Amino acid sequence: MLKKVFHLKSKEVNYLTKKRNYFSKGIFSFFYVPQYANNLFHQCSFHVTIKISKSAVWRNFIRRIIMKYLEEEQRVHKDFQGRYFKFFININKNTLSFLQSLIEQRDKL
């Protein structure tokens, strides 16, 4: 898991979603804002909607996979063109049905 300093607080997530700096890539949607000048790292938070699975176990499992990837690849410490950001990752609404079907198949096993 990422250290607590790399996580966003709920107040920051609310700010990011209201600010609406947004782009979508693949199955994910990203809300972002530039990081403070004295923080030389990215901060991120990830949300898995209840529409994917009502089981919190599966939602946490998905969230942990993404966070583990970010940690292993050291993405938190790599800058984007010399800048660092706060970003909130969400699952794109257009891919919900695809992900739901995958999880339902997994539940049946």
What residue ranges do the domains of the chain occupy? 4-108
More confident residue, 103 or 32: 32
pLDDT band of 109, cuts 50, 70, 90: low
| 39 Cβ contact partners less than 8 Å away, ≥ 6 residues apart | 84
Q: For the residues 13-38, what does the mean pLDDT come to? A: 80
Q: φ and ψ at 86, to 5 degrees? A: -100, 130
The correct CATH number of 4-108 out of 3.30.230.10, 3.30.830.10, 3.30.750.24, 3.30.70.2190 is 3.30.230.10
Distance from C-alpha of 28 to C-alpha of 25, rounded to nearest angstrom: 6
Tell me the pTM.
Answer: 0.65
pLDDT digits (tens, 9 = 90+) for 35-94: 877 778 777 788 877 877 788 888 888 788 877 777 776 665 676 777 888 888 887 777
Distance from C-alpha of 70 to C-alpha of 12, rounded to nearest angstrom: 19
In the block, which residue shows the tokens 């898995």?
48
